[in-house]
Structure 1
Amino acid sequence: MKIKGFYNVLSVLVLAAVVLSCKANKAAKPKITNPNIIIIMADDMGYGDLSCYGSTLINTPNLDKMAAEGIRFTDFHANGSVCSPTRAALLTGKYQQRVGIDGVVTAKKHRDKGLATAEKTFAEAIKESGYVTGMFGKWHVGYKTEFNPINQGFDEYIGYVSGNVDYHSHIDQEGYEDWWVDDKIQNEKGYSTDLITKHSVDFIKRHKDEPFLLYIPHEAPHGPFQGRKSAAERYVGWKSGSAPKNKMSEEELNAIYKEMVEVMDEGVGKVMATLKELKIDKNTIVFFCSDNGASRKVGSNGGLRGYKSTLWEGGHRVSAMAWYPGTIEPNQVNNETILTIDLFPTIMSFAGSETPENLDGINLRNNLVKGETLPNRNVFWGYAGRKAIRHDDWKLILRNKNAEPQLYNLKQDISETTNVASEHPELVKTLLQKLEAWSKDVYTDSNK
């Protein structure tokens, strides 16, 4: 009986060990709770180019739906009024002047310039919390391999590193092949907008069971202005300034631009549909914005003054939205003043990750989820010797160091038609002092 009893006790102990082992294994693979993060960026798209922002010419049902199911921002600003600066600010959470990317990194003159690998990108930061990271589309903060997204925190990358490529041949402005798979040139047949969407959807499907960050910087609707059926215009050895094969009329240009925005919107719809099909939509937060306003040539800035490269509102106030079903309430219109740099600390907060020190952006999470008012702050812009500061409803622009300052009350004059600087000399003096202090703080030697 003693032997039998011994075996009974032994059986109980073995069973208990098995149960504990199973629990330990389950504990080692916790259910995903950290939300997936997707950031989608349009290129050179104006404040008035989406139907949810008033366009009657361009149909964007998928972005309209995102806005209706989440938050549509009315006072969201790109950090730069041109491409590279805004992207550098987004990636680092810092004013672009602080990281040495104050202007466009061009294929012709700046092939050795890029975002320093010593700067910590949001991709590098979020990987420390176990996220897998992917990027598909436009980089534009460094041509050399050392600056490639693969060396800046992204596990996967397919796209182009220049300012724009032919949508079909994928040749850049200086006639170089510019379609990369990770850090190797590897051209691919297809319309760039569709390829960016295809690879983004594939990434989501492959990583649906782990927390991921996906950055989708589209080429559309930046030039060259080409639709799905347009002929390729560039070839190896092509040089910028070469005349296109067929010069478009204004009507034809507007029609192509409309198609380019609508194809991008179609791609956004495919990304959103994939999230819902995989039942991970309620665990995914999506941000959408443009990198600057529409160009002077085509597009609509919705009645705002200026266009790409200027520091009037049309240069940097952009359409933007946030979507997180079940967490962000639908049908919201947000009038807070927000910058691209704010996305870095915000996604880190949503991911439960440690936010790097010394960021210039602020965490928007409680504003987006709880409606809390953001802290009062001054925000700044600088490009090509021009500088601007926003203080509450006031905006001061200094077009060069010798120019007379321009002051606008955006609450009363959103189109910046009336310079009221002469009526508020003390305010102008104060804002100029703040602008000068900011400049001394953020501008690197190479940008002064």
Structure 2
Amino acid sequence: MHRFYILLLIGLHFTSSAVAAEDTSLPKRPNIIMIVIDDLGYGDLGCYGSQIHQTPHIDRLASGGMLFTDFHANAPVCSPTRAAIMTGQYQQRSGIEYAIPFTHELGMPLEKFTISEALKQAGYTCGLMGKWHLGHVSRFGPNDQGFDESWCSNNTPDYHTHVSRIGELDWYHNHQIDREPGYLTDLVSQHSCDFIRDNVDRPFFLVISHLALHFPFQGPNDPPLRTEGKIWHDQKHGPLNKREYRRAYRDMLVAVDKSVGKVMDTLNSSGLQNDTIIFLLSDNGAYSWVGSNGSLRGQKGDLFEGGHRVPAVAYWPGQIPAASKNHQTIMTMDLMPTILSLAGLPLPTGLELDGLDLKSTLLRNAPLPDRTLFWRFNNLYTKTNASAVREGKWKLIEQGTEVSLYDLESDLSESQNLASQHPDVAKALQAKFFQWNRPFRDLPASQ
């Protein structure tokens, strides 16, 4: 009853004020597609300078839209970033600070109000295809958070057999196990294109949440490994020899890039190419031993730039300037308020969002207001805690007793610790983190 009451009030606000809040200079009710590529590094795409990976379809998307150079995941791992995307808030407000393990007990609370619920109340049909990882589908699934249609996995199963590391089948259609055969990247692509065709006459919100490039490292032509009823943690990286990981990673990225091409072809053949906004991004940095974070220090799981500065593209023909670059500091939690604004919808009253509306910077490259951004990460596997603060060119990182301060304008690779040279800056950022962290200090992660 309490959850229904909250959603009803927010829904009434949308109904009464959506028309008045619309921006009449924009097409009404654009379709919205968000493509999230798991573990994609800052240096993995051709449009970001990769000389190893061929990504022509993603590169064309970037050349037709806006490429971001200072775009950040809210966390250096999956689940926290996805919680921030879905809620427009720091993930600490959802109690999710690490990648949710193989359990039915932990997940994003169902009372959290999500972008899909907001869009659904405004008449959008919402679909999610691919990785969910915000709690087990049986208890915390996407259809309980505003999505009308889902084909999804809890985590990252075998790409061919769809079996998880704990020996369970992990491929669901609307929260029910489905044994359809196929390579998972191809299935995500197929169901995404079907969803577009099925909703050609009404506005839709589609999250294409690729399981790739996360391990197990299996390209389309690599062998299956996992079978049901067995624990696979000791072979979590898949069936291949370590020497083959980078090749398999490259093949997986090629498959994802082809999927982007199929989605674009479907939009074009359906006449929706000019009526659809596309955001493409990663949920965190790459593991540097298979992928590339370019010149950035660190990798997935780190609060150095390589762990959370990620590739991102926004595309909307005729609205977002083609072949443009955006150098402003942006976070994944900014996507919810931005998408609602681009859809002509007001922000829900009574809901505290931490993200910013990026509409003006997307459409006109207008500057964003100054702000201080925060990261707090509890690493479940290494049992370490770390935090980071970003304000303008300055970035502070604290891990244990070590304090580091970097000037990202002159040292993007974070090689020169300036904490001793600028103690006043370090202390000021520490004080700001202390204040920001106060409400979350005693909050257990992934409660």
Whether 1:435 and 2:429 are equivalent positions in the alignment is no
2:233 match: secondary structure: coil
The whole-number CA distance in structure 1 between the counterparts of 2:205 and 2:238 is 40
CA gap of 1:249–1:375, structure 2 versus 1, over 3 A, is same
Given the superposition, is the C-alpha separation of residues 249 and 118 from structure 1 closer, same or farther in structure 2, using an over 3 Å criterion? closer
Quote how far apart the aligned CAs of 1:111 are: 2.3
The CA distance in 2 between the partners of 1:249 and 1:183, in whole Å, is: 34
TM-score by length of 1: 0.90
Structure 2 unaligned regions, length at least 5: 1-26, 379-384
User: Would the aligned equivalents of 1:138 and 1:161 in 2 still touch at CA under 8 Å?
Assistant: yes
What's 1:44 paired with? 39
Write the distance in 2 (CA, Å) between the matches of 1:143 and 1:237: 18
Aligned to 1:19: none
1:100-146 CA distance string (max 9 Å, x none): 01111111xx4201111100110001111100000000000101523
Asked whether the equivalents of residues 105 and 111 of structure 1 are also in contact (C-alpha less than 8 Å), the reply is no
Which residue number corresponds to residue 11 of structure 1?
A: none
Cα separation, 1, equivalents of 2:361 and 2:403: 33
Equivalent of residue 351 in structure 1, options 335, 343, 348: 343
Selected match of 1:172 from 160, 164, 167: 164
User: Of 279, 282, 303, which aligns to 2:295?
Assistant: 303
Counterpart code for 1:128: Q
* CA RMSD between the two structures: 1.4
Comparing 201-210 with 238-247, greater Cα deviation is found at: 238-247
SS of the equivalent of 1:118 reads: coil
Matched, 1:56 2:51: yes
Cα deviation for residue 90 of structure 1 reads 0.5
Q: Identify the residue that residue 156 of structure 1 maps to in structure 2.
A: 149
**Map 1:12-411 → 2, pairs under 5 A:** 33-107=28-102, 110-162=103-155, 164-243=156-235, 246-250=239-243, 252-356=244-348, 357-384=351-378, 385-400=385-400, 403-411=401-409
Paired amino acid for 1:58: H
Q: Which amino acid aligns with 2:255?
A: V
1:281 counterpart SS class: coil
Distance in 2, matches of 1:261 and 1:443, equals: 39
Higher Rg: 1
Alpha-carbon distance change, 247 to 440 in structure 1, aligned in 2, over 3 angstroms: same
Moved more, 142-151 or 241-250: 241-250
Displacement, 1:246?
4.7
Q: Distance between the aligned counterparts of 1:301 and 1:349, measured in 2?
A: 31
Q: What stretches of structure 1 of length at least 5 have no aligned partner?
A: 1-31
Displacement of 1:296 in angstroms is 3.8
Calculate the TM-score normalised by the size of structure 2.
0.90
Letter in 2 for 1:302: G
Identity of aligned residues (%): 44
Q: Matched residue of 2:281: which SS? A: strand
In 2, the alpha carbon distance for the partners of 1:230 and 1:118 equals 41
Question: How far off is 1:354 after superposition?
Answer: 2.4
